Amino acid sequence: MGLSNKSKEILTGPFSKNNPVIIQMLGICSALAVTSKLEPSIVMGISVTVVVAFANVIISLLRNTIPNRIRIIVQLVVAAALVTIVSEVLKAFAFDVNKQLSVFVGLIVTNCILMGRLEAFALGNGPWESFLDGLGNGLGYGLILVVIGFFRELFGSGTLLGYPVIPEVFYQWGYVNNGLMILPPMALIVVAVIIWVHRSRNKDLQEN
């Protein structure tokens, strides 16, 4: 890879040590709501990555011209414009998934990852770093979504991406899908388990 060390760190930091969902506590709402199946989780991860990366670039280019007092409104307008584009694209090419995501595509506008990264990073860094930061954070978010979606769909419906993966024999032996996994509260508990595993492996992240 032709990336310098610093760029590499910006890009890959959010995958684990600085993950937006489980460390920075950003973007949790959508991470929980769309993950009852794997497919919407993937689509959501990609949409957020695209929006965050490009919003970061745009805000970073404008950062010296935005007056400080109205910056939140400017950021929201940029974000809302990008989300409108993504939402129209999804409606055109992935209508079913768009239906499943319902209001949560629109809610990317208020996704805290977006605002958090714009505030914390894009306002103080150049366009290229901001792009990498947006990409990294979007992917780190997508990663968590895919993990949650994977477990919830596997245990909740016994399928992955809609294809059955648990052999018929298991059902004949008396295996039953855990309907609870599909329900909203279990998403929270799955996230808690991810946090537990992640923090017991990275002791320095534990809170006192």
Count of helices and strands (H, E) across the chain: 10, 2
Return the residue of 61, 89, 102, 126 that touches another protein, per CB under 8 A.
102
Shortest separation between residue 177's beta carbon and another protein, angstroms: 18
Q: Classify 18 as helix, strand or coil.
A: coil
Task: Using the rule CB under 8 A, give the single segment among 28-36, 129-137, 145-153, 165-173 that binds another protein.
Answer: 28-36
Return the residue of 11, 26, 97, 181 that touches another protein, per CB under 8 A.
26
Binding flag, residue 89, another protein (CB under 8 A): no
| ∠ CA 98-36-114, rounded to 5° | 60
Shortest separation between residue 67's beta carbon and another protein, angstroms: 14
**What is the distance between the alpha carbons of residues 22 and 16, in angstroms, rounded to a whole number?**
9
Q: Pick from 136, 14, 8, 123: which is nearest to 66 by CA?
A: 123
Alpha-carbon torsion angle 177, 178, 181, 182, nearest 10: 50
Binding flag, residue 48, another protein (CB under 8 A): no
Binding flag, residue 66, another protein (CB under 8 A): no
The binding site for another protein (CB under 8 A) comprises: 22, 25-30, 32-33, 72-73, 76-77, 80-81, 83-84, 87-88, 102-103, 106-107, 109-112, 115, 183-189, 191-192, 195-200, 206-208
